[in-house]
Chain A
Amino acid sequence: MPTRPDGRPVRGLSQAELAELARRALGAHAGEAVATAMPVESFHDDAWVRLPREHSLETLRRLKSDPDASFEMLLDVTCAHFPRRPAPLGAFDVIYHLLSLTRGHRLRVKVACPDPDQGVDSVVSLWPGANFMEREAYDMFGVRFLGHPDLRRILMSEEFAGFPMRKDFPYRGH
């Protein structure tokens, strides 16, 4: 196995082990039943977990402080729009990419958001770096981030109408 200059292994925990850690973090907050039902999906050697909207902030907090996971850095927050996806998942996914610098692993976490106006909890209180990313996601998709200190458009101008990255927004002729 290749090692880093300081002797630590290049890769930390496996994706399956990380999904188990996420399940533990969710269970500690929301109870065993919710944790058992947490979906884990994978593609190639990537895996991702889907957290319930109402428990996302607490679970991410635990994932950040859990010494085994220790996700000190939030790499990215973004959204994806699936206009025809039925309930309970609904039309929007909020997608987090977490990185552990000390352990050397990364994990993708998704939170379904059926109603963009109700949105999801902001994670700026955990990772201040989420500020611009959540502003961009709001700007492009109109998904609100509850508790964000300064949720306004960032790339489009304030008077712009509509959310350009939604699938029903035309890619030209607007």
Chain B
Amino acid sequence: MATHPNLRAGAGEGVDPEILEAQAVTTTFERVSDDLMVVNMGPQHPSTHGVLRMIVTLDGETVVKVDPVLGYLHRGMEKLAEVKTYNQYIPWTDRWDYLANLQNNVAFAMTVERLMGIEVPERARRLRLLACELSRLSSHLVWLGTHSIDMGGISAFFWAYREREKLLSLFEMLCGARITTSYTRIGGVMRDLPPGWEDACRMFLREFPKQLDEIETLLTRNKIWMDRTKEVGVITKADAIALSVTGPILRAAGGDYDVRKAFPYLDYDEFSFDVPTGEIGDVYDRYLVRNEEMRQSVRLCEQALAKLKPGPVDVNDGKISLPPKDRVLTRMEELIHQFMLVTEGPSTPVGEVYFPIEGAKGELGLYLISSGLGRAYRLRIRGPSFINMQVLAPMSEGMLVADLIAIVASLDPVLGEVDR
């Protein structure tokens, strides 16, 4: 078949056989020597939180080596950004960290706005802050529920998901979708709040801390929970910094870095909230830190609702955000604006920006190089889940297999963001 136009090289041609051998461990167990055994975990394993695959070398029940195999959910998110206009790309941002979609929408829109040198009106900023904090709550609730089910506690899972369900209903009211929110636009948000949303949100914020207290009574002083999580998966502050870890994992180890405090955006410096930190950096500390973060998010949401004043929710500039439809249908200039925005995207200067936000998992940094078109020349997504995955091996080596499950759960990886 030498003349076949598209005959690909067979799997493994020209690849180091040793690497192929390591990757070919598809049997569940393999005894490699008298003492060591290689176990394949994932990618279809419920406790790996998605398609994380780990090749674990065991000595009895002790973990000797962990090699995470990533990429099962790689969709080429960075490549796609180079062929989609900025507004077209927003639905793809939902699929990075698909448990905290709203924060991705906000991060991407703000990066492009930073590039264009524009600032959105106050009401849009408040709505975006609400979106960020509510999505942090939603993400942390999934972590809390799945973490507890991994440890064998079913009740907390149902309770956490019940609360998340209320949040998803709020998201649905906000933008019509529960998961694929696509809430922001370059220059603002897609629409103003629907009637009744503020009251529904206030009611949720009033009820939620009590529900969180109830979940905590199940776990925080539970002897089994403490035995399974204390002194497990410890990382020191120095190691966490050296391994570029951000977010709750760094804070649980004692590092007080939070982008909302260190490099405020969305007027976070006008809000009062605390950044909780741990001391030991074990699974239990990460549990405590994330729970406290949820309470702080509630505080932030309450303040944002109190500061929410009527006003425009986008920049009202036809060269940046879509003009009102009735004017598009009756006026020449608005028609041209709509046509140009939809076909070419907004016009941007030649330049580059790095814009970080404090995502639910850590610093979500977007590095955007623009060649002056309505789409990115290069978009780099610094997914915190991906970079935090590096602590998995140092944390788990020397622990038991059961601890490995606890450690993966406490890292809270979202594979959409790991693999992008």
Q: Chain A: residues with CB nearer than 8 A to chain B?
A: 2, 4-6, 10-11, 43-44, 46, 72-76, 78, 80-81, 95, 97, 101, 104, 106, 108, 127-133, 136, 140, 152-159, 161, 164-165, 169, 171
A44 touches B367 (CB 8 A): no
The complex places the Cα of A2 from the Cα of B117 at a distance, in Å, of 22
- A2-B269, A157-B71, A158-B15 known; A171+B367 contact, CB < 8 A: no
Q: A78-B367, A80-B378, A161-B8 are in contact. Are A155 and B390 (CB under 8 A)?
A: no
The CA-CA distance from A6 to B16 in the complex, in Å, is 52
Complex CA gap A30/B152 in Å reads: 59
B residues adjacent to A (C-beta < 8 A) = 8-13, 15-16, 19-20, 23, 70-71, 74, 76, 78-80, 82-83, 114, 117, 241-246, 255-257, 261-264, 269, 274-275, 349, 351-354, 356, 363, 365, 367, 369, 377-378, 380, 382, 386-387, 389-390, 419-420
Q: Looking at the assembled complex, report how far the CB atom of A24 sits from the nearest CB atom of chain B, in whole angstroms.
A: 23
For A157, give the chain B residue with the smallest CB separation.
B71
CA distance A44 to B245 in the complex (A): 28
With A154-B70, A159-B15 as contacts: A75 and B382 at CB distance below 8 Å: yes
Complex alpha-carbon distance, A43 and B78, angstroms? 22
With both chains docked as a complex, state the minimum distance between the C-beta of B273 and any C-beta of chain A, in angstroms.
10
Most chain A C-beta atoms within 10 Å of own C-beta, residue among B74, B83, B256: B74
In the complex the two chains form, is B70's CB within 8 Å of A10's CB?
A: no
Of B15, B241, B245, B419, the residue contacting A155 (CB under 8 A) is B419
> Looking at chain A's contact residues, is the secondary structure mostly helix, strand, loop, or mixed?
loop
* Contact, CB under 8 Å: B365 / A75: yes
In the assembly, what is the distance between CA of A10 and CA of B255, in Å? Answer: 16
A159/B9 in contact, CB under 8 A: yes
Q: Take A164-B76, A171-B80 as given contacts and tell me if A101 and B387 are in contact as well, using a CB distance cutoff of 8 Å.
A: no
Given the contacts A44-B114, A76-B382, A127-B244, A155 and B363 also touching, CB distance less than 8 Å:
no
